[in-house]
Chain A
Amino acid sequence: MKTVLVDIQKIKKYYEVRAGIFAQERAPVKAVDGVSLKIYRGETLGLVGESGCGKSTLARLIMRLDVPTEGSIYFEDEDIFKLSGKDLKAYRKKVQIIFQDPYASLNPRRTAGSTIGEPLIINETYDREEMSSEVARIMDIVGLTKEQRDRYPHEFSGGQRQRIGIARAIILKPELIVADEPVSALDVSIQAQILNLLKDLQKEFNLTYMFISHDLSVVRHVSDRIAVMHFGKLVELADNEELYERPLHPYTIELLSAVPVPDPGKKSRRWLMQEGEITGTTDGWGKCPFYPRCATKIEMCDEDQPQLKDRGGGHFVACHREGI
């Protein structure tokens, strides 16, 4: 049976913006605005959306790198924002992150071996020898060689650096890995290697992934379920097949139709040319955030914000239109 590993409940993160003379307070930026989401043990949950939609903020909240304005996140039935001391340290061990940019996320003055081994020093009581053999073991698993442990980040290619980042993330045997755009800085041939590696690791260590990406083809390839985010809210959540074969929310449809298909015979599914630009916050609108760009809006969309509702079979959509 599926067990819930992470239960995100109505989480909100607002950032205050001060601007102008005397730094007057403006309306807050609602980076994450009431997201509820469950992540099941052993699955890969894909999270897609365009830049600025709040994907990374949500990731930071799950990592407890930031505190929410409202709402809570339960990990194995414990509220992570109430953890402190030993419990918090234990939580940090169970949840690890892989960052997007393998150039910026490694300390240029540390060798690969010391970067990979550092979590062990912080979290475990290992002696020198055990640590050394553990680092060697993990490096082997992610496809790095022993000789590379004393090299510095600049001596590695982008793909190899990402392997270092992955090694650092798995060395503490975490349960959940948040992968924030782990392949978007890599060339396609390398991207495939890293995606295959992540798949292997998931099988071997029974990992749960939250896989954040703006690339819908990549998300399709790796995910069991997919959540689509727009303006800090979830607009659609469904199983992989279901979402790609039967997308319901007009924003999801627009995203999918915009992906260039690598086949000249098949011009992209549909090139919906909505000219609407993404602008500012949707504050105080009290209407559907997608309203300005939506091709199928109805009267109600202007008056009321739609809520995420189950349309059957675990396919959740936030849209007012019936029967979509």
Chain B
Amino acid sequence: MGTLLEVKNLSTHFDTEYGVIKAVDRVDLTIDEGDTLGVVGESGCGKTVLALSIMRLIPSPGKVSSGSVLFNGVDLLKLDVEEMRRIRGKDISMVFQEPMTSLNPVLRIGDQITEIIRLHMGLRRREATNHAMETLSLVGMPSPEKIIKNYPHQLSGGMRQRVMIAMAICCGPKLMLADEPTTALDVTIQAQILELLRRLKKETGASVMLITHDLGVIAQAAEHVAVVYTGQVVEYASVESLFARPLHPYTVGLMESIPKIDAVSGRDEYLKAISGTVPSLHNLPQGCTFQDRCPHTMQICREEEPQLWEHLPAHKVHCWLYKPK
């Protein structure tokens, strides 16, 4: 399978009055055709900014300061505004976290979907409406002919997220960026939405970049995983390899800190928490940014930044513990 998206050395900086914030810091990623890449990390680690950088939707004062985003071999960062607009929503689409705030409350569902279809596919109103209804039934909406006349507030959270996904897939995208698509939903609805994404991926062959903070969602839905910390990729592996042998102390810490649902009752056990908090992006320490929370900190961690080394086949880690000999 070929490479669909290749992010190379991508940095996005926000130039604020308190100094430059490196929200995304020299990130390398690839997504193959038909692949799901999970991006996992805690709040404020730059997951969303990474997706917005790929879409070129970074709000001021943010700016992509270096790197390239090759989509089918074309550098998206070099396209002019008009060319980018033709790709955005058609070839690359996005599903946002909060389906309530990302739908327009004063437009009917049908109008919101057909707007995209008419713009990108050049269909006329009636054809576009038909296509919208087809897409809605593809995402499992009962009676789409009624739904298109509804306003967002008339739908439940799960239904709204289905509408968001319908909007993302209606023009046959090659890549879908899904930013915490199930975080605002109940577990049973989350299971339905994840199953839907899985089915759509199979049927349409689209690739997915799935951004989440939930390792459970990653394990169930992704094929490759990038673990992100303070704007950097700290570990990159196939999902099997990552869960079988987590290497970076942060990944290990994350996995140990989640309560396990199928564990024998842990009533008297303590969770292994990662001590401390994520450092402020305003003043990151010199060297490795995880040094103050890491149980294995060495002298070199405070002096020099590690590189993303390939420790196991196709399993890379950004940590001095795994420096090749």
Contacts and interface: CB of A to CB of B under 8 A. Distances in A.
Do A and B pair up? The answer is yes
Interface of A: 50-51, 157-160, 187-193, 195-196, 199, 214, 216-218, 220-222, 224, 240-241, 244, 254-265, 267-269, 271-275, 277-279
B304 interface: no
A13 to B, nearest CB: 21
Given A195-B259, A220-B261, A271-B191, A262 B270 contact: no
A263 B221 CA distance: 11
Interface in B272-290: 272-275, 277-278
Contacts of A267: 220
Contacts of A260: 190-191, 194, 214, 216-217, 219-221
Interface stretch (B13-21, B76-84, B250-258): B250-258
Given A159-B277, A221-B259, A258-B191, 18 more contacts: A50-B187, A157-B277, A187-B278, A188-B258, A190-B273, A192-B257, A192-B273, A217-B260, A221-B260, A224-B267, A244-B261, A244-B265, A260-B190, A262-B218, A262-B243, A264-B220, A273-B195, A275-B140
Given A188-B42, A188-B213, A260-B217, A274 B273 contact: no
Nearest to A256: B261
A216 B215 CA distance: 15
Given A240-B267, A258-B188, A220 B42 contact: no
Given A259-B216, A260-B217, A271-B195, A188 B187 contact: no
A158 B70 CA distance: 37
Nearest to B225: A264
Interface in B122-168: 140, 142, 156-159
A273 B187 contact: no
B313 interface: no
B192 A259 contact: no
Interface of B: 42-43, 140, 142, 156-159, 186-188, 190-192, 194-195, 213-221, 239-240, 243, 253-255, 257-267, 270-275, 277-278
A240 B263 CA distance: 11
A269 B220 CA distance: 11
A188 B251 CA distance: 12
Nearest to A274: B188
Nearest to B280: A157
Nearest to B293: A189
Nearest to B255: A262
A192 B258 CA distance: 7
Between A189, A254, A268, A279, the greatest number of chain B beta carbons within 10 A of the residue's beta carbon is seen for A189
Given A193-B273, A241-B265, A260-B194, A50 B220 contact: no
8 contacts: A189-B42, A190-B277, A195-B259, A216-B187, A221-B271, A262-B219, A263-B243, A275-B140
B195 A263 contact: no
B261 A277 contact: no
A264 B219 contact: yes
Contacts of A195: 259, 271
A272 B217 CA distance: 16
Contacts of A271: 191, 195
B216 A262 contact: yes
Given A188-B258, A256-B261, A258-B191, A51 B186 contact: yes
Nearest to B274: A189
Closest 5 pairs (CB-CB, A-B): A260-B216, A221-B259, A192-B273, A192-B257, A258-B191
Contacts of A189: 42, 253-254, 257, 273-274
A278 B254 contact: no
A188 B254 contact: yes
Nearest to A260: B216
B177 to A, nearest CB: 20
Contacts of B271: 192, 195-196, 221
A217 B240 CA distance: 22
Contacts of A279: 156
A217 B191 contact: no
Contacts of A224: 267
Contacts of B261: 216-217, 220, 244, 256, 259, 261
A254 B220 CA distance: 17
B214 A273 contact: no
B150 to A, nearest CB: 13
Contacts of B186: 50-51, 214
A190 B255 CA distance: 13
A249 B243 CA distance: 32
B105 to A, nearest CB: 19
A214 B187 contact: yes
A274 B187 CA distance: 12
A188 B56 CA distance: 29
Contacts of A268: 191, 220
Contacts of B243: 262-265
Contacts of B157: 51
B258 A217 contact: yes
A50 B157 CA distance: 12
Contacts of A160: 277
A214 B187 CA distance: 8
A196 B220 contact: no
Given A192-B274, A260-B216, A273 B191 contact: yes
Contacts of A220: 259-261, 263, 265-266
